[in-house]
C-alpha cells in the first residue's frame, strides 16, 4: 500500500479506484455484484458501526422501511413536476450510471480503507450508518406525502425491469441524490482528515465528484425523478451534514450537463440548474429555521405548501 500523501496522477487515480472496487460491466449483474462486494467488505471492519450501517443499507433501509412506504396508501398525492422537466430528454443509455450509486458508496469505503487502514474505521462506521439512515428517514416523508410525476419514454428490457420494481411514486426526496451527495462529501472530508498531504488527493476527489454529478444527471435522463426530487434531496443532505455546504451543493449542480448536454441547448441546462438551486435554497432555509423539527416533517410541510400553492394557482387560472 502506498503511503498517504503520495502525489497521484489522474491515470493512477483511476487505476487505484478500479483496483479498490472493481469495474461493473453488466447491468443485469450490477445489483448483485454490489451486494456481494458489500458482504465481502464487511468482515474487514472490526468497527461494529460499519456492520450495522452495511446491514441497514440493504435490510432496514431498503427492504423494510422504504418498501413499506412504497406500499402505503395515501390520501394526498402531490404532483412535483415542473415545466422544465419536460425539456429534459429521455435517455435509456443512462441506466448503467443510474444504478451505480451503491457502487460509488462501496468504492469510496473500499478505497479509503485500503489507503489508511484501521485509523479510519470510526469515520467509515459513521459513513455507513449515516448513509443507511437516509432510507428510513425518506420513508417517513413518503408515508406522509406521496409524490408523483408524468413519466415519459419506454426503453428496453433494463428500463422495463427498473420501472416494474421502482415506480414514479415515492420519489421526493431523491435517495439517489442524497446518497451520492453525502458519499462524495464524506469521502472528501475523510481524505482531508487523514491524508498527510490532502491536496495530493484532489484527483481522487474529482473522480468521485464527476461520478456523483453523472448519477444526478442520470436520474433525470431515465425519468425516475424530476428536478424537485434532486433539489429536496440535496437540501436534506445539507440539513443532516453541515460539511455538505451550499457551496458544495452549488458546485455539484453547476457541473450538471457540463460535459454532455444530451441534446439540450444551454438555455435549458441553465434553467435546470437555476430551478434546482432555487428549490434547494428554499428548502435548506426552511430546514435551518426549524432546527428542532425532524427533517421529514420539514420536507412534508414544504411539499404540502408547494401543493397548496399549485392548487391555488390552478384555481386562479
Q: Three cell numbers at 87? A: 425539456
DSSP state of 83: G
Cα separation, 51 vs 74, whole angstroms:
34
Q: Three cell numbers at 182? A: 453525502
The ranges assigned to domains in the chain are 10-22+52-316
3-class DSSP state of 289:
helix
Q: b/e map of 262-281 (b: 16 or more CB within 10 Å)?
A: bebeeebbebbbebbbebbb
DSSP state of 90: P
Q: Three cell numbers at 21? A: 472496487
Residues 6+ apart with CB under 8 A from 271: 84, 87
Phi-psi label, residue 167: left if phi above 0, alpha if psi -120 to 50, beta otherwise:
beta
Per-residue pLDDT tens, the chain, 317 aa: give them. Answer: 444 444 455 566 555 545 444 433 333 334 444 444 444 444 444 444 555 555 555 444 444 445 555 545 555 688 899 999 999 999 999 989 998 898 899 889 989 988 998 899 889 888 988 888 888 888 889 888 888 888 877 777 777 777 776 766 778 999 999 999 999 999 999 999 999 999 999 999 999 999 999 999 999 999 999 999 999 999 999 999 999 999 999 999 999 999 999 999 999 999 999 999 999 999 999 999 999 999 999 999 999 999 888 766 665 55
How much is the pTM?
0.80
Amino acid at each position: 500500500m502506498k503511503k498517504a500523501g503520495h502525489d497521484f496522477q489522474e491515470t493512477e487515480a483511476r487505476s487505484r479506484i478500479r483496483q479498490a472496487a472493481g469495474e461493473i460491466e453488466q447491468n443485469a449483474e450490477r445489483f448483485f455484484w454490489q451486494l456481494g462486494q458489500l458482504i465481502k467488505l464487511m468482515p474487514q471492519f472490526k468497527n461494529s458501526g460499519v456492520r450495522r450501517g452495511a446491514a441497514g443499507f440493504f435490510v432496514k433501509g431498503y427492504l423494510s422501511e422504504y418498501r413499506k412506504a412504497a406500499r402505503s396508501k395515501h390520501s394526498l398525492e402531490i404532483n412535483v413536476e415542473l415545466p422544465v422537466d419536460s425539456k429534459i430528454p429521455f435517455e435509456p443509455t443512462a441506466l448503467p450510471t443510474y444504478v451505480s450509486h451503491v457502487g460509488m458508496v462501496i468504492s469510496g469505503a473500499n478505497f479509503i480503507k485500503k489507503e489508511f487502514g484501521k485509523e479510519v474505521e470510526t469515520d467509515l462506521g459513521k459513513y455507513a450508518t449515516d448513509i443507511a439512515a437516509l432510507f428510513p428517514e425518506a420513508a417517513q416523508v413518503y408515508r406522509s406525502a406521496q409524490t408523483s410525476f408524468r413519466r415519459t419514454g419506454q426503453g428496453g428490457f433494463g428500463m422495463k425491469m427498473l420501472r416494474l420494481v421502482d415506480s414514479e411514486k415515492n420519489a421526493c426526496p431523491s435517495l439517489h441524490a442524497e446518497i451520492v451527495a453525502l458519499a462524495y462529501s464524506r469521502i472528501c472530508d475523510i481524505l482531508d482528515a487523514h491524508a498527510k498531504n490532502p491536496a495530493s488527493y484532489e484527483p481522487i476527489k474529482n473522480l468521485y465528484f464527476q461520478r456523483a454529478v453523472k448519477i444526478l444527471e442520470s436520474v433525470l435522463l431515465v425519468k425516475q425523478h424530476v428536478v424537485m426530487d434532486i433539489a429536496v434531496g440535496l437540501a436534506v443532505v445539507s440539513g443532516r451534514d453541515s460539511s455538505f455546504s451550499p457551496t458544495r451543493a452549488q458546485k455539484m449542480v453547476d457541473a450538471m450537463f457540463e460535459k454532455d448536454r444530451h441534446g439540450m441547448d444551454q438555455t435549458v441546462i441553465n434553467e435546470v440548474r437555476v430551478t434546482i438551486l432555487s428549490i434547494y435554497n428554499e428548502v435548506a432555509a426552511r430546514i435551518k429555521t426549524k432546527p428542532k423539527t425532524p427533517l421529514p416533517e420539514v420536507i412534508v410541510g414544504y411539499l404540502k405548501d408547494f401543493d397548496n400553492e399549485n392548487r391555488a394557482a390552478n384555481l386562479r387560472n
